[in-house]
Amino acid sequence: MSALTPIAPGLWTDEAEPRLIGGRRASGEIVFPVPDGDAAALVEPVALSRHGTLWSWTTQSFEPKWPYAGPQPFTPYLIGYVELPGEVIIETRIVDAAAVDLTIGMPMELTIIPFNAERSTYAFRPGSSS
């Protein structure tokens, strides 16, 4: 895990194996990320599962606009949706895999990766379904 500052406060728990923090609405629906401002009062923070399944994915073949683009030369990367069973589907970067390695429904696990020289972000990688 990276010791860099998260790209947003309260994005994940402060544990040896961090978990993303979602918000549970009064209806029981879980959302991610936790809304901010007045909407934050309408949800209860909840630590999400570290493990899910790949719901869908694609290759990001063009450089994103600022502030999402980094200073380094652009390299295409994988992005997808990971379903945390019974919780929520999360849009995420996919790391430690090539496009040929991915199959819908495969187990995925949360990891923390550097975003830039000062900050870190979350991603999912192929893993166990625990």
Domain ranges for the chain: 5-126
Specify the pairing of strand 43-47 against strand 51-60. Answer: unpaired
14-28 pLDDT, tens digit per residue, is 988 999 999 999 999
Q: Where are the beta strands (DSSP E) in the chain?
A: 5-6, 21-25, 30-31, 43-47, 51-60, 77-84, 88-94, 107-114, 119-126
What residues are paired with 15 via a beta bridge? none
13-69 pLDDT, tens digit per residue, is 998 899 999 999 999 999 999 988 888 888 999 999 999 999 999 999 988 887 777
Q: Is the pLDDT assigned to residue 103 strictly greater than 90?
A: yes
Task: Tally Cβ neighbours within 10 Å of residue 121.
Answer: 18
* Largest distance between two CA atoms of the chain: 44
In this prediction the pTM is 0.87
